[in-house]
């Protein structure tokens, strides 16, 4: 299943894609696509629906973040060996974890706003894990049982704030609009091998990132297991699993986003995002 949320910001409704790729409204079945329905029982209920009987959503509505009411978004840094190399960093011996504020989360095609004073806003296509079942101290062998599905994440980053301003990475990762997720949550039964998914990101029509989840230093099962040793993962939580090479910071010379730029990114089977970059103004 491909579950999504559509409509104006703050007024998103739950939806599901039918076999033709059309959006069907789920408002009569569930209140939202969130942790309350992402567990095995909730997904089993949705899987039994006759999608043709659901109202067809007309027009071209805005697509919102694919999960609502996310309690936390945890990210893994330097989780692709070739990305670590382009940044001049050693390959981690354990997953590097940091938080992205949930206020950064936005829709997959919403504008990305360059923060006030930013000169080093960067792009990062990433595989997102969506948790379906409360996970605490889970074994790696059982970890995928706690996963509802997967989504595309753009882990937008301000490198000066992340690296040059002291402290942890969170301050460079958490500006408003720095967490586009979606367009949909693809349930894990539709993904044959999550560790063999092609991924890409273009800036202004030029390919910048090309990768495959098979080159992760730490795979999905290990990441879920590992994070659950330090905190309880709740249904609806999102984990961004790291990015392949090709980020602006790693280019020679470095290149960063500016107002008027565009980003297009995607992962095989999980859909695409398209964002316009705009300047901060308030």
How confident is the model over 99-141, as pLDDT tens digits? 999 999 999 999 999 999 999 999 999 999 999 999 999 999 9
262 within domain boundaries: yes
Quick one: 178 and 208 in the same domain? yes
Parent domain of 157: 73-279
pLDDT of residue 82: 78
pLDDT of residue 89: 80
Domains in the chain: how many in total?
2
CA 176 to chain centre: 15
* Cα atoms in the 13 Å half-sphere on the side-chain side of 56: 8
Question: With pLDDT > 70 as the criterion, what percentage of the chain qualifies?
Answer: 100
44 within domain boundaries: yes
Quick one: 157 and 261 in the same domain? yes
Q: What is the mean pLDDT of residues 240-268?
A: 97
Quick one: 146 and 220 in the same domain? yes
Can you list the pairs that 16-21 forms with residues at least 24 positions away whose Cβ atoms lie under 8 Å? 16/46, 16/49, 16/51, 16/54, 17/184, 18/51, 18/52, 18/54, 19/51
80 within domain boundaries: yes
The Cα 49–Cα 46 span in angstroms is 5
Q: What is the pTM of this model?
A: 0.97
DSSP string, 204-247: TTEEEEEEEGGGBSS-HHHHHHHHTTTS-B-TT-EEE----S--
Q: Is 80 exceeded by the pLDDT of residue 282?
A: no
The Cα 145–Cα 141 span in angstroms is 9
58 within domain boundaries: no
pLDDT of residue 237: 98
Q: Is 80 exceeded by the pLDDT of residue 41?
A: yes
67 within domain boundaries: no
**Residue 250 binned pLDDT confidence (cut-offs 50, 70, 90):** very high
Quick one: 149 and 204 in the same domain? yes
Higher pLDDT, 190 or 281: 190
Q: Is 90 exceeded by the pLDDT of residue 69?
A: yes
33 within domain boundaries: yes
Q: What is the mean pLDDT of residues 265-281?
A: 97
111 touches 259 (CB < 8 A): no
Quick one: 232 and 275 in the same domain? yes
Quick one: 138 and 29 in the same domain? no
114 within domain boundaries: yes
Tokens 């997904």 belong to which residue? 43
Quick one: 122 and 202 in the same domain? yes
Quick one: 181 and 42 in the same domain? no
CATH number of the domain within which 138 lies: 3.90.850.10
How confident is the model over 202-226, as pLDDT tens digits? 999 999 999 999 999 999 999 999 9
């Amino acid at each position: 299943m491909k579950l999504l949320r559509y409509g104006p910001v703050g007024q998103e409704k739950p939806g599901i894609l039918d076999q033709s790729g059309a959006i069907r409204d789920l408002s009569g079945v569930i209140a939202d696509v969130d942790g309350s329905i992402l567990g095995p029982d909730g997904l089993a209920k949705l899987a039994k629906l006759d999608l043709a009987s659901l109202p067809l959503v007309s027009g071209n509505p805005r697509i919102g973040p694919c999960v609502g009411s996310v309690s936390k978004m945890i990210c893994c840094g330097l989780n692709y060996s070739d990305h670590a190399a382009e940044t001049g960093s050693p390959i981690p011996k354990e997953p590097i974890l940091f938080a992205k504020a949930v206020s950064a989360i936005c829709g997959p095609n919403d504008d990305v706003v360059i923060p006030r004073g930013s000169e080093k806003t960067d792009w990062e296509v990433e595989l997102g894990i969506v948790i379906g079942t409360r996970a605490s101290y889970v074994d790696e062998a059982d970890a995928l049982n706690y996963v509802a599905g997967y989504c595309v994440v753009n882990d937008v980053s301000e490198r000066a704030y992340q690296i040059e301003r002291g402290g942890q990475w969170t301050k460079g990762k958490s500006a408003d609009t720095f967490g586009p997720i979606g367009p949909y949550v693809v349930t894990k039964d539709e993904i044959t091998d999550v560790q063999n998914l092609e991924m890409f990101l273009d800036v202004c029509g030029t390919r910048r990132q090309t990768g495959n989840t098979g080159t992760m230093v730490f795979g999905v099962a290990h990441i879920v297991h590992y994070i659950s040793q330090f905190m309880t993962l709740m249904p609806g939580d999102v984990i961004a699993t790291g990015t392949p090479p090709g980020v602006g910071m790693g280019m020679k010379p470095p290149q960063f986003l500016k107002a008027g730029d565009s980003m297009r990114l995607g992962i095989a089977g999980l859909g695409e995002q398209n964002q316009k970059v705009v300047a901060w103004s308030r």
